[in-house]
Amino acid sequence: MSIFDAIKKSVLEGFSSEITVADIFFSVGVAFIAGLFILLIYRLTYKGVSFSRSFEGTLLMVCTTSALIVLSITSNLALSLGMVGALSIVRFRTAIKDASDTAFMFWAVAAGITAGAHYYILTLVGSLLIGFLTFLSLKIIGNYDPSFLLIVRAKTDTALEYAAKMLSENGFRYRLTSINSTADYNEAIYEISVGSRHSKLVSALKKIPDVTDVNLVDCRNSPV
């Protein structure tokens, strides 16, 4: 047997010519279970402002569809080459609003691929491990108070100085990002972590003489 025949034999042995009904049920079923677990972790750790039900369904569909694609690829060499060529021209233009959503999408694809390749233990145990670590890390990060942009407008510099003094005396964590001055008003913008005291803070700042406007905007950035 020549070396080319040996290579050909080893390659062809990696493909099974038949896909049984049991293979389909096991692969898609395990991918579906892993997808449900991914959805559970996604719901428990979601910190965004606009929850998308369609993205949840997309995660589940991506997980099961990936398993189906890999299951068909592993059964036929010609089909696998054709599938690679077909998928290479597919382009997705849907914008992902949160970076963590991209990570969950990759997780769903990975779970589907391993399930379609008959690595069921890897799919389940790997998903459990990733889910535990994701839940733990995101919960630890989520213990920090969210950051806000505090915009204070006043007629005088003295009022802005008094507002900054009030923030320091009340223990707020803040960082001055910009100061603007016009003929009509002076404006200071802070990045601040206020926790649940945002209403009291806005009310207290508005009571300062010569302060005209106080705005608090959720910026969803890292804590200060």
pLDDT at 7 over 50: no
Predicted TM-score (pTM) of this structure: 0.59
pLDDT at 127 over 50: yes
Mean pLDDT of the chain: 76
Which pLDDT belongs to residue 66?
A: 85
Q: How confident is the model at residue 223 (pLDDT cuts 50, 70, 90)?
A: very low
Domain boundaries, the chain: 3-142, 147-218
pLDDT at 221 over 50: no
Which pLDDT belongs to residue 146?
A: 64
For residues 145 and 65, the model is more confident at: 65
13-58 tens-digit pLDDT? 554 557 788 888 888 999 999 999 999 988 888 765 556 677 888 8
Structurally, at CATH architecture level, domain 147-218 sits in 2-Layer Sandwich (3.30)
Which pLDDT belongs to residue 12?
A: 47
The neighbour count for residue 55, using CB atoms within 10 Å, is 19
pLDDT at 74 over 50: yes
127 and 38 Cβ atoms separated by less than 8 Å: yes
Which pLDDT belongs to residue 203?
A: 81
